[in-house]
Structure 1
């Protein structure tokens, strides 16, 4: 089977999808669509994890699995809201004691002077 052109692929934006998204999305493809995508992948990027995932899915389809609708609205390739960083703003830290080792504007005190 010859590889289809990019605009003939069964998945929109195929070239921009990361491997985790592809693994989910190929579950919605028929055997024929997956074979088209595999031919395209092998002719272009030929990424081993993608090719292996496609071969695995083809085997599942040959053993009787059916395409699922999948959740194409979930896009792990796009960052969502993150929970990284501190939830404390600068306003909430006013009045806090400096660390015992000090900060550039306010050096810490030696241990011997701490309790005096």
Structure 2
């Protein structure tokens, strides 16, 4: 299989193209070396992001040095964003402060500017 043969559908991590780089290291911990190699070849053939290549190479090195894939499932959907708040904002026109106008600059009656 050449670099051009790796298709998005063949990737061991679903929605790989849309993962934040910061979560990639966590998502690939459960993968075997051959699965990480597939991701690396796909990355090189498509986006070729240096930071992603480094993360994948580092994990391949860890596996070569004897580390084992961790438990978990790289294909499981991850909560990449915080959940929405349970309720809406308690702010309303009734809780708003009085309207304020910014001070005018250069007017001698403005008490925030000293007179010269």
Q: CA deviation at 1:69?
A: 2.7
TM-score, L = length of structure 1: 0.67
Contact in 2 for aligned 1:21/1:75 (Cα 8 Å): no
In structure 1, the gaps of 5 or more residues are 112-116
Per-residue CA distance 1:74-112 (angstroms, 9 max, x = gap): 332x45337xxxx5502223xx455xxx437xx9x964x
Q: Distance in 1 between matches of 2:43 and 2:110?
A: 65
Q: 2:20 aligns with which of 15, 18, 21?
A: 18
- Superposed CA RMSD: 2.9
TM-score of the superposition, structure 2-length normalised?
A: 0.67
Q: Are 1:103 and 2:76 counterparts?
A: no
Structure 2 residues without counterparts, runs of 5 or longer: 112-116
Of 80, 83, 106 in structure 1, the residue corresponding to residue 83 of structure 2 is 80
Mapped to 2, the partners of 1:66 and 1:38 lie a distance apart of 19
Number of the residue aligned with 1:41: 43
Give the C-alpha shift of residue 70 in structure 1. Answer: 4.1
The number of equivalent residue pairs is 99
